[in-house]
Structure 1
Amino acid sequence: MKNALVAPKERIFLIDGLRGFALLGIILAHIGGWFIAGGIPATVWQKYQNDVGTAIANYFGGIFIDGKFYTLFSFLFGLSFAIQLLQRKDDDTRFIQRFMWRLVILFIIGFVHHIHWKGDILGIYAVLGFIMILFRNVGNKVLWIGILFFILNMPVIIRDVVQKTQPKEKPKTEKEQELEVEKYEKETVDSYNTLKKGTYLDVVAQNFRDFKSKADFQFSSGRIYITLGFFLLGLWVGKKRFFENFEKYKPLFKKIMWLSLIANIFIVAFFITVEQLKLWEKLGDWMNIIANTLYAIHCVMMTLLYLTGISLLLNLKSMSWILDKFASVGKMGLTNYLLQSVIGVMLFYGIGFGLAGEFNADWCYLIGIGIFILQIIFSKWWLSKFNYGPMEWLWRSATYLKWQPMQK
């Protein structure tokens, strides 16, 4: 990749490589909690608390995995939209109509996925995709206001500040608090047992009921806002053609990489220090708001570190063989994302082997890496025979309402 202007095929290859890397992080994020995608009873976690491997895996996951890869995946979704927008052959109206229809199909896929595994993000992507469309023609200033407002999770931070400064309602009695805790623990145990031991219909019914709790979590944690923010960041990067002119922007990528690395070192050091000195309770409620803000910055900076660092790494000629492996998985991103859920459900749920909670997080990570290696092998074999992954082919065919050429 020595050319100053990266050819379209190579540019897409690099983006596919990033998508493949994101899918590696996504399976590690999900498998670390046995693909439960929700509350796990304290009794299940408790038996691993004194395990050294679990402690190391938890620190590793907290710093490098949790909350860092759905953001990278979201960025790539926005980037793909920008590329389609720039390469469209139809007029703007026709292109947007087709893209909206594409989002409707994605929502249907996401709905089916959710009732089998409630950690689905496709339905969320479909809904937020309609909002992203509204930003396609705005100026850079407005776009960057939206990017920073959402990726820094400002809606949640503002909400917390307002709640902190407003007069408090009558505090709940100790008995009321105990009843709330007992209710939550019971719901968590019931849901976990249904997934781990229930029949297929039990699992589907449980996941369908959990639509509300999933939506509540998305808004209360701010994940839905952060996802939209990374959509918009990907849209901006795509419109600026950073990956089409990668050599030109390589110095900028390096600067962002080093800045992100330094920022993460300071933030992680702060959190570890506060944790080791047990300062959370002493620092009060305002410290929680500051911590949430720093954590949002940490997730953004870690995502940028992965984005720039992995792009620079995969762009090296000596790393072309790794790029080839990641790109094979990334080109079939939708198929491999759904396949990870199928494997996870079969491994850990009652409709499969029911292994949730049966081994600790470090073994989960090793299994996740093994699954990803199998996905590399499967993807390379499939793409040697077919033009698209099976779900990509179905999505594309449904978009154009015409069966697309599948076999090479």
Structure 2
Amino acid sequence: MDKNIPLSSPLKRIKILDSLRGFALLGVILMHMIQHFGIRSLPSEIEFLSFPVLDEAVQWIGNNIIMGRFINIFAFLFGLSFFIQMDRATKKGVDFRLRFVWRMILLLVMGLLAHSFFNLEIISLYAFFGLLMLPLYRVKNWLLLSIVAFLLLGGPRTIQAINHNSELGTEQVDAVEPMNNGQAPRDLAEHFANPSFLNSLKHNYKERLPGKINYQFGYFGRGYVTFALFIIGLIVGRIRFFERLDEWRKRSFYLFIGFVSATLLVIWVQTMLPPPDFSILFRPNGQYMASSLLAVMTLQDLELVLFSGALALGFTLLYQNMKFGKYLEVLSPYGRTALTNYIMQGVIGALLFAPWALGSTFSNWGVTSLFLLGIVIYVVQIVCSKYWLKHFLYGPLEWLWRSGTYLELQPFRKK
């Protein structure tokens, strides 16, 4: 590497990573459309563009093929990008740590601003985990793998459950009363009674942000899986997997078969266990945290990660194939402008589903219609990304983030 090139100069990109990132964001927008971007709407008896049989099939695809799997790939790629940035700085003899901390602070700000529109955003969480990655950069792989195993096997959840159960002692646990049992219904929330962006913003921070934190770091423990994927990305970066794809092609195929087989095995084991009551994870309310519930949650986490690995490896093998690779390369511009596209997904989602915008219309659409609309939005973003990168070096938010990182305006237009 030429040491005369400043650190802020554009990175030589590994193209498959851009395409894989674009692929991951396809699953993200499709699932978020089905979930109405986490924006709650008033229930309505009127459904529009609803196709019951298709809706059920698409919902199954969302729950069993997309949800949690594609966003895992996105998290893995964040950890890999962390390694690439730090590795490049190390080769230049530059200590990038303080600048990386500042970079994560800027990302945290962007994430919290995005939370104003939709509470499912994960950028702010990525910024927090990015900071935790710094002390792990030089840690040995065997120790990193031990941390990954602890996180994916439900270590944090088990510790919380043991502490919770010990506090309960041997006292008789009362049944949890159903909500509004014989009580008058609660008053209509302010963001529904008086729809406005400001009221939705207040609701997102006051009500939904604590719920998000509980989902990530409570008994459900989604955040621990995400952090494990960050670390896996760091390890994969160290072995130069994507820089040596041709050397790894045969092993990649065997890895793909292994991930698929392991995924099917975990799914089969899950079918042998009784379906758990996941609501306990969010509101224990003095209830005993059964070991069977913890086991099912651990199996579910493993299945999601293994499924994501199979998807990523399958995509990689297809990308290396001459017949399919040229089509998957179409996703590259989307991945190069991933931050802009991801946040724009959320802004569009807020406009579609928020009570203060078009929520009264699109919240009544059937699952299939929303799924197809998500594909349309994604395709439009691909076209816009491709056109944008013909004239500019970075996406708008990527350029803003980069300029903020180095505290000076970076080159923007292509010469």
Q: Structure 1 length as normaliser, TM-score? A: 0.86
Residue 235 of structure 1: CA displacement? 0.4
Structure 1 window deviating more from structure 2 (164-173 vs 308-317): it is 164-173
Say if 2:393 is the partner of 1:387. yes
Match of residue 86 from structure 1: 87
Residue 239 of structure 1: CA displacement? 1.2
Deviations, residues 135-169 of structure 1 (Å, cap 9, x unaligned): 00011111111122223443114434665677546
Match of residue 97 from structure 1: 98
Q: Secondary structure at the match of 1:244?
A: coil
Structure 1 window deviating more from structure 2 (320-329 vs 128-137): it is 320-329
Pair 181,143 (structure 1): closer, same or farther in 2 beyond 3 Å: farther
* Contact 2:337/2:395 (<8 A) preserved: yes
* Contact 1:79/1:231 (<8 A) preserved: yes
Separation in 1, partners of 2:136, 2:276: 39
Residue 259 of structure 1: CA displacement? 1.4
Match of residue 375 from structure 2: 369
* Contact 2:106/2:404 (<8 A) preserved: yes
Match of residue 65 from structure 2: 64
Residue 279 of structure 1: CA displacement? 6.2
Deviations, residues 58-104 of structure 1 (Å, cap 9, x unaligned): 22112111111221111000000111122115545x31111111111
Match of residue 120 from structure 1: 121
Match of residue 285 from structure 2: none
Pair 319,10 (structure 1): closer, same or farther in 2 beyond 3 Å: farther
Superposed, 1:144-159 pairs within 5 Å as 144-159=145-160
Of 20, 23, 26, the match for 1:21: 23
Residue 223 of structure 1: CA displacement? 1.1
Corresponding letter in the other structure for 2:136? F
Match of residue 302 from structure 1: 307
* Contact 1:14/1:311 (<8 A) preserved: yes
Match of residue 254 from structure 1: 253
Corresponding letter in the other structure for 1:51? P
Deviations, residues 378-401 of structure 1 (Å, cap 9, x unaligned): 111000111100000000011111
* Contact 2:47/2:365 (<8 A) preserved: no
* Contact 1:109/1:123 (<8 A) preserved: yes
* Contact 1:75/1:231 (<8 A) preserved: yes
Residue 237 of structure 1: CA displacement? 0.5
Match of residue 211 from structure 2: 213
Residue 265 of structure 1: CA displacement? 2.6
Q: Choose between structure 1 and 2: higher helix proportion.
A: 1
Pair 171,65 (structure 1): closer, same or farther in 2 beyond 3 Å: farther
* Contact 1:40/1:192 (<8 A) preserved: no
Q: Structure 2 length as normaliser, TM-score? A: 0.84
Match of residue 198 from structure 2: 201
Unpaired runs of 5+ residues, structure 2, are 1-9, 278-288
Pair 192,348 (structure 1): closer, same or farther in 2 beyond 3 Å: same
Pair 326,300 (structure 1): closer, same or farther in 2 beyond 3 Å: same
Pair 396,164 (structure 1): closer, same or farther in 2 beyond 3 Å: same
Match of residue 223 from structure 1: 222
* Contact 2:51/2:368 (<8 A) preserved: no
* Contact 2:270/2:299 (<8 A) preserved: no
Q: Secondary structure at the match of 2:37?
A: coil
Residue 269 of structure 1: CA displacement? 4.6
Separation in 1, partners of 2:174, 2:87: 58
Separation in 2, partners of 1:289, 1:302: 20
Corresponding letter in the other structure for 2:196? T
* Contact 1:336/1:375 (<8 A) preserved: yes
Separation in 2, partners of 1:52, 1:80: 41
Separation in 2, partners of 1:368, 1:145: 38
Match of residue 265 from structure 2: 266
* Contact 1:147/1:232 (<8 A) preserved: yes
Q: Secondary structure at the match of 1:35?
A: helix
Separation in 2, partners of 1:161, 1:298: 24
Corresponding letter in the other structure for 1:123? S
* Contact 2:190/2:199 (<8 A) preserved: no
Pair 76,101 (structure 1): closer, same or farther in 2 beyond 3 Å: same
Match of residue 5 from structure 1: none
Residue 301 of structure 1: CA displacement? 0.7
* Contact 1:107/1:127 (<8 A) preserved: yes
Match of residue 76 from structure 1: 77
* Contact 1:17/1:330 (<8 A) preserved: yes
Corresponding letter in the other structure for 1:406? F
Residue 190 of structure 1: CA displacement? 3.6
Superposed, 1:304-383 pairs within 5 Å as 304-354=309-359, 355-383=361-389
Pair 14,182 (structure 1): closer, same or farther in 2 beyond 3 Å: farther
Structure 1 window deviating more from structure 2 (361-370 vs 147-156): it is 147-156
Match of residue 34 from structure 1: 36
Match of residue 177 from structure 2: 177
Separation in 1, partners of 2:190, 2:51: 25
Pair 128,314 (structure 1): closer, same or farther in 2 beyond 3 Å: same
* Contact 2:388/2:395 (<8 A) preserved: yes
Q: Secondary structure at the match of 1:177?
A: coil
Separation in 1, partners of 2:145, 2:270: 28
Match of residue 239 from structure 2: 240
Q: Secondary structure at the match of 2:408?
A: coil
Structure 1 window deviating more from structure 2 (374-383 vs 150-159): it is 150-159
Corresponding letter in the other structure for 1:361? V
Deviations, residues 313-352 of structure 1 (Å, cap 9, x unaligned): 1122222332321111000010000111111111111232
Separation in 2, partners of 1:287, 1:120: 31
**What percent identity do the matched residue pairs reach?**
30
CA RMSD, 1 decimal: 3.1
Pair 104,58 (structure 1): closer, same or farther in 2 beyond 3 Å: same
Q: Secondary structure at the match of 2:96?
A: helix
Superposed, 1:275-294 pairs within 5 Å as 285-294=290-299
